[in-house]
Amino acid sequence: MRLRTFLIAATLVGVFVFLTSRQNSPMRTFLRDRGPVWTGPSVAHSAGLSSDETNNIDIYKASRESVVYITSTVYQRDFFFGVQEVQGLGSGFLINPDGQILTNFHVISGSSDVEVTMPPDQSRYKAKVLMRDRAHDLALIQIDPKKKLSSFLKLGDSDSLQVGQKVLAIGNPFGLAGTLTTGIVSSLHRKIQSEDRGDLEDMIQTDAAINSGNSGGPLLDSQGNVIGINTAIYGPGGGNIGIGFAMPINRAKVMLDDFKGGRRPASSTIGVSTYLISGDWAEALRLPRTGGLLIGQVLRGTPAAAAGLRGGSQVVRIGNGLLRVGGDLITAVDGKRVEEENAITKAVARKHAGDTLDLTIWRDNRSMDVKVTLAEQGDGTL
């Protein structure tokens, strides 16, 4: 009996010694690599929020009551000549305590009635259209809240944006009021086509989810400042695929200045089609190597035509493309050397109808200055 007890004890000791001597055995490594044994939730990890999450929450709480729901009503004749009511949905945001709201032109375009629904109590107000800037898809409307509003958004600076910086979009996609999405600035200075087939230039591209109903809502930076107005998306069937566009807020500031000064907004174009050329291409055309914007065509009845700018006289093939040559080369705009395709658009965006654009052009082997007076938009102040 004693011998049996001794043998059992010795066996247990041997097993213990064997196991402790196998600290680095393949079997132990395999078991360890399967992961640690779960011992319950980590209080330290789950209790807090990251700094980025906190930033998102703070901006949403501070901004959500300033983002409104806009319903525009248009009365149309149906097939049987009856009057049919058609409603459009969009977003907008308050910019001051007096009830003024920025949104997109296409949100209120052609509307007989514009109604604004205010968060958080869902109160409704009839809105008056104060200003339309069709060329930049912008509009200024106003409600009468009966008292000064405490919640409105601060306008930021869209000229200082950087690709990669964080942005937040708040709006009412598909009627889902107060929706927040986040993303980054994906690109800058994009050109897209508007609903009326015109071009919207200098747009901000973002991957923050923007869908139908987001139009007119604010695009915010990480400080909660408005840096753009959500305008359009690129995607099949109108759904979001991560390519959205916002009008830079600095363009809206120009419209606001026009309204305060009783001016009509300037047209977004001077009436020319241009090509950005430089280097070997410029030298091949016997133009300065530093290049600029080569005018291909000047439209009749436009500011460019009135200023005497000249378009191309013949078409040549360069590489795989056709280029209209022989026209003026714009080398500087308002004293700044041309380095970007949208140099004229950016300069015009800061001006008003009646202002002049100072161009330096190359014509007949010499440099000369030309002043172009900006025209009014066809659809300005009501």
> In this structure, what DSSP letter does residue 290 have?
T
Amino acid, single-letter form, for residue 13: V
Query: Hey, how many other C-beta atoms are within 10 angstroms of the C-beta on 27?
Result: 8
Query: How many Cα atoms sit within 13 Å of 53 on the Cβ side?
Result: 4
Is 215 catalytic? The answer is yes
Residues of the chain scoring pLDDT < 50: 1-46, 81, 83, 379-382
Is 137 catalytic? The answer is yes
What pLDDT does 74 receive? Answer: 66
Tell me, which fold does domain 158-260 have in CATH? Thrombin, subunit H (2.40.10)
- Residue 305 tokens read as 């035509």
What pLDDT does 11 receive? Answer: 45
- Residue 300 tokens read as 């009749």
Domain 272-373, CATH 2.40.70.10 — does that match? no
List the catalytic residue out of 137, 202, 221, 328: 137
List the catalytic residue out of 66, 72, 91, 106: 106
What pLDDT does 39 receive? Answer: 40
What pLDDT does 378 receive? Answer: 62
2.40.10.10, 1.10.460.10, 3.30.420.40, 1.10.1060.10: which CATH number matches 63-142? 2.40.10.10
Is 157 catalytic? The answer is no
List the catalytic residue out of 186, 215, 267, 268: 215
Domain ranges of the chain: 63-142, 158-260, 272-373
- 177, 163, 166: which is closest to 70 by C-alpha? 177
Torsion of CA 337, 339, 341, 347, to 10 degrees: -40
What pLDDT does 264 receive? Answer: 81
Per the CB < 8 A criterion, the answer to whether 182 and 170 are in contact is no
What pLDDT does 181 receive? Answer: 96
Query: Hey, how many other C-beta atoms are within 10 angstroms of the C-beta on 219?
Result: 31
Identical fold between 63-142 and 158-260: yes
